[in-house]
Structure 1
Amino acid sequence: MTMFDSLRRQYVNLAQPRLGAEVVYATDDFFADKARLIDPAEPVFIPGRYDENGKWMDGWESRRKRIPGHDWCVVRFGVPGLVAGFEIDTRHFTGNYPPGAEIEVCRSNAFVPDDEACWTKVTPRLSVNGNDRIYVPVDHADPVTHVRLHIFPDGGVARLRVWGRVAKDWSMVDAGTSIDLLAMENGGRGIIANDEHFGVVENLTALGRGVDMGDGWETRRRREPGHDWAVLELGAPGRIEEVVVDTAHFKGNYPDRCFIQAAAEAAGSPDEIAARSEGWPVLLPEVKLQADHVHVFRDGLADLGPIRFVRLNIIPDGGVSRLRLIGKAA
């Protein structure tokens, strides 16, 4: 497992478009559109591909600066978040990467906060290499809404990922309101799955219905005894009233059955949590699933009190697009 795989087990990328994040400003993006800086796909290099401004690059790239100063851009989150660290990825940028970078954060209601906003520098001036990928942990306790990436003096960055946790303000949610406690925008996250060959567990918590089979959690074809599973954490403890298992787009590869276990507390590493989850009590007993279908379960759910963690077991393997756990925060 790489360090970046480990980060995905601990945090959510707050700078992802499906959470509502967007690059709202750049001093210059002549060679490569600023929006590509937060594209969820891995950066690619396409030999021989050019556009009207020059070589097409998969990331954000400014022109060669011929005046004093440096370039920078602003990323606005879709939801406030607690930032744990930044991933700066310069893959495929070799003779055109910036040798230095620096990052600031702020919390603001403005679409593009100006210099009067309370920007806080959370990294020193960083040395950046070409065709590289680094992680920079930070210590910042307050929720933020914007990130400002400075590059010195110019050049290209393939991807910026902002790892952290969604900072849901639960005081703004009426105590009697039922809500999807597992939704990414409400702080839910995937922790670990035994197999993510075709699709990652985080996709189960994403907004809306999956756009295709790649936008879900899918395991390889199981050729040995047993079944596949995934462990996830709710954004807040709550009593579950309704479970939704959506197999959108999974037709010849949906699980035959599933059941869900749950617990109020879990501690330790993702592997340790996974090991303990085998003994958690059952929230939803084993049920039959269908292809490309929204399954809604209300009857038969066990009253386990407020829960915070769930284990989705699929029998024997396959793909699930979304998992919704509707209930009231405790």
Structure 2
Amino acid sequence: MATLLAPEFEIPTPLQQLTNLADARIGAKVTTCSDDFFAEAQRMLQFDAPIFVEGKFDDHGKWMDGWETRRKRHSGYDWAIVQLGVAGKIKALDIDTTFFSGNYPASASVEGCYAPNENLDDAEWHQILPNSILGPSQHHVFEVSMNQIFTHLRLNIFPDGGIARFRVYGEVSVQIQDQNQTLDLLALENGGRVIAYSDAHFGHPRNLINPGRGVNMGDGWETARRRAPGFDWCILALGQAGHIEKIEIDTAHFKGNYPAEVSIQAIYIEDATDPQLIPQSMFWPFLLDAQPMQMDHIHNFVNEVLGHEKISHIRVNMIPDGGISRIRLWGKVNP
């Protein structure tokens, strides 16, 4: 059986700097749906790009990598309710019909509500996306301009069909109840995000803040082999500003291509634009001086963390190049 990868798609730069709130890796799930006869609705929340496997069938028909309902033979439409992995403000939606070429919905709409107690019966639903035309095997990116915080979305497809992936790009809204709790302030689920990077030839730095340990070498930040002086770097924004007590640098699966050293610079800054941070980052104070790395290893640094006030942004320097799987900044929120 032949396996085809989805065609390359470059997400517009503004979306790269937002969090996919409907990412199954941070707990997003489909709580209920009208129908998923051909392909279960939960599949459309997977992080990986959809695939098409030639000749693969199951008991219900052709296997498809996404959510697919049966052909509707009466009035009405299909829908799925998605509980976001984290609550947040929505800035854009990507309704992806990749590989659904003759079975895509004619159109779709999206509603949302804020129900932190998960009681949807009493929730007030708001229209996020009006009924909008869809096409075959393509990304449909819709910008959203709303200030409300949402916990649940309802994706409506008219009248039936299949969605490969449903991505909800936004800003994480995390309410920290215990200011004395030690958290990974850089974690994706706590609002961490990528601002800029020197190179991402083999793996994107957004993987550095993913949940759990890397599953393979592709699930990390890996640059091309450097053939010029200098080193690689990336700039990350913490989801929550605070004081760092412990740093973890994980080189899981990087055995012949881990960096020789890694250092971290840091700053606290308010109301800065992302572009202005890039040139300034070269002069930020060090949070962690250059430390030697080992292959396939979790490096823990406590005493090596340099004295600092609270921080909001870091610059990771990978000397001279190579790959890192994860970075964790354990500390307490300092509002």
- The answer to whether the Cα contact below 8 Å between 1:101 and 1:125 also exists between their aligned partners in 2 is yes
| Among 158, 164, 169, the residue aligned to 2:170 | 164
1:273-312 paired onto structure 2 within 5 Å: 273-312=277-316
Instruction: Note closer, same or farther for the CA distance 1:267–1:277 as it changes in structure 2 (3 Å cut).
Output: farther
Report the CA distance between 1:100 and its aligned residue.
Answer: 0.9
| Among 54, 70, 74, the residue aligned to 2:81 | 74
Aligned counterpart, 1:54: 61
Mean CA deviation greater in 118-127 or 210-219: 210-219
Q: Secondary structure at the match of 1:45?
A: strand
Percent sequence identity is 45
| Among 177, 180, 187, the residue aligned to 2:191 | 187
CA distance in 1 between partners of 2:80 and 2:68 (Å): 11
CA distance in 2 between partners of 1:237 and 1:108 (Å): 26
Mean CA deviation greater in 216-225 or 63-72: 216-225
Q: Secondary structure at the match of 1:124?
A: strand
CA distance in 2 between partners of 1:267 and 1:107 (Å): 27
| Among 99, 102, 105, the residue aligned to 1:92 | 99
CA distance in 2 between partners of 1:118 and 1:81 (Å): 16
Report the CA distance between 1:109 and its aligned residue.
Answer: 4.1
Q: Secondary structure at the match of 2:53?
A: coil
Q: Does 1:27 align with 2:34?
A: yes
Aligned counterpart, 1:139: 145
- The answer to whether the Cα contact below 8 Å between 1:190 and 1:204 also exists between their aligned partners in 2 is no
- The answer to whether the Cα contact below 8 Å between 1:24 and 1:112 also exists between their aligned partners in 2 is no
Aligned counterpart, 2:210: 206
2:178 is aligned with what amino acid? V
Q: Secondary structure at the match of 1:185?
A: helix
- Residue deviations 1:142-198 (CA, integer Å, cap 9, x gap): 22111110000001111110001211102x123x33321111111112222211222
Aligned counterpart, 1:106: 113
2:109 is aligned with what amino acid? E
CA distance in 2 between partners of 1:30 and 1:113 (Å): 24
Q: What is the root-mean-square deviation in Å for CA atoms of aligned residues?
A: 1.9
CA distance in 1 between partners of 2:257 and 2:232 (Å): 13
Q: Secondary structure at the match of 2:52?
A: coil
Report the CA distance between 1:267 and its aligned residue.
Answer: 5.9
Q: Secondary structure at the match of 1:125?
A: strand
Report the CA distance between 1:283 and its aligned residue.
Answer: 1.2
- The answer to whether the Cα contact below 8 Å between 2:216 and 2:253 also exists between their aligned partners in 1 is yes
| Among 123, 127, 146, the residue aligned to 1:121 | 127
- The answer to whether the Cα contact below 8 Å between 2:15 and 2:92 also exists between their aligned partners in 1 is no
CA distance in 2 between partners of 1:271 and 1:290 (Å): 33
- The answer to whether the Cα contact below 8 Å between 1:248 and 1:321 also exists between their aligned partners in 2 is yes
Report the CA distance between 1:255 and its aligned residue.
Answer: 0.7
- The answer to whether the Cα contact below 8 Å between 1:181 and 1:235 also exists between their aligned partners in 2 is yes
- Residue deviations 1:3-31 (CA, integer Å, cap 9, x gap): 61414432011111111111222211111
Gaps in structure 1 of 5+ consecutive residues: none
| Among 215, 225, 230, the residue aligned to 1:226 | 230
Instruction: Note closer, same or farther for the CA distance 1:212–1:2 as it changes in structure 2 (3 Å cut).
Output: closer
| Among 2, 6, 26, the residue aligned to 2:13 | 6
Q: Secondary structure at the match of 1:63?
A: coil
Aligned counterpart, 2:178: 173
Aligned counterpart, 1:16: 23
Q: Secondary structure at the match of 1:130?
A: coil
Report the CA distance between 1:276 and its aligned residue.
Answer: 2.0
Q: Secondary structure at the match of 2:259?
A: coil
CA distance in 2 between partners of 1:228 and 1:196 (Å): 9
Q: Secondary structure at the match of 2:299?
A: strand
- Give the TM-score normalised by the residue count of structure 2: 0.92
Gaps in structure 2 of 5+ consecutive residues: 1-7
Mean CA deviation greater in 157-166 or 74-83: 74-83
- The answer to whether the Cα contact below 8 Å between 1:266 and 1:309 also exists between their aligned partners in 2 is no
- The answer to whether the Cα contact below 8 Å between 1:255 and 1:314 also exists between their aligned partners in 2 is yes
CA distance in 2 between partners of 1:319 and 1:4 (Å): 23
User: Paired residues, what number?
Assistant: 327
CA distance in 2 between partners of 1:145 and 1:203 (Å): 24
